[in-house]
């Protein structure tokens, strides 16, 4: 296993202690774990490119780690009232729709290697910033205007990304059935 893949696995393994910290309202610890997981995301991608260690395993582990961390974080922080419920629903629904679409494409033999789009990357960055600031707001004074702006921007970009991936997936289907 190469270093980028190990970092992706680390991010996946950090999800459980992060969730435990959130459940017990240990928000500074939860934020530290969340930042560590976020930094591992940046570092694994950088190292995979820099060290020429891109791999098929990494192409699955990296987005899995991202989605697992953000989905768990949005649900946990939404339940605890640190995020608006509508935003939690949008983020989780987008991830479910994209995963279901990828499954349909895979099982119909139409799924090429999944490449993240600009919109997907922008959504991930916005979601990570939103989660970080929401966690920080649990124990430090954060501008309500900043939080509300992040919530709205994250929700809108997540919806755009969902529609983008749906349209991209529809284009992968052939116009006539395979025989």
CA atoms of 138 and 133, how far apart (whole Å): 9
The pTM of the full predicted model, rounded to 2 decimals, is 0.89
Q: What is the pLDDT along the chain (179 residues), one digit of tens a residue?
A: 888 888 889 999 999 999 999 999 999 999 999 999 989 888 887 888 888 878 777 777 887 888 899 999 999 999 999 999 999 999 999 999 988 888 888 788 776 666 778 998 899 899 999 999 999 999 999 999 999 999 999 999 999 999 999 998 888 777 666 65
Topology, domain 3-172: 1.20.120
Q: Which residues contact 169 (CB under 8 A, 6 or more apart)?
A: 101, 102, 104, 105
Q: Which residues contact 11 (CB under 8 A, 6 or more apart)?
A: 37, 40, 41, 44, 65, 66, 69
Q: Provide the pLDDT for residue 109.
A: 78
pLDDT the model gives residue 47: 82
Confidence at residue 44, expressed as pLDDT on a 0 to 100 scale: 80
Distance CA 62, CA 146 (A): 29
Cα separation, 130 vs 74, whole angstroms: 10
Number of neighbouring beta carbons within 10 Å of residue 103: 11
């Amino acid at each position: 296993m190469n270093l980028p893949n190990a970092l992706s696995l680390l991010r996946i393994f950090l999800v459980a202690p992060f969730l435990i910290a959130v459940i017990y309202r240990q928000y500074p610890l939860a934020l530290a774990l969340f930042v560590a997981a976020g930094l591992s995301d940046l570092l694994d991608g950088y190292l995979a490119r820099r060290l020429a260690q891109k791999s098929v395993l990494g192409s699955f582990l990296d987005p899995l780690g991202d989605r697992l961390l953000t989905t768990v974080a949005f649900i946990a922080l939404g339940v605890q009232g640190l995020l608006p419920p509508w935003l939690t629903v949008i983020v989780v629904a987008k991830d479910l729709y994209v995963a279901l679409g990828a499954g349909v494409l895979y099982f119909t033999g139409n799924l090429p290697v999944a490449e993240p789009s600009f919109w997907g990357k922008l959504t991930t960055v916005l979601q990570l910033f939103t989660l970080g600031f929401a966690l920080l707001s649990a124990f430090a004074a954060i501008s309500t205007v900043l939080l509300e702006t992040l919530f709205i921007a994250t929700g809108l970009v997540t919806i755009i990304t969902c529609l983008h991936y749906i349209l991209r997936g529809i284009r992968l289907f052939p116009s006539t059935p395979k025989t």
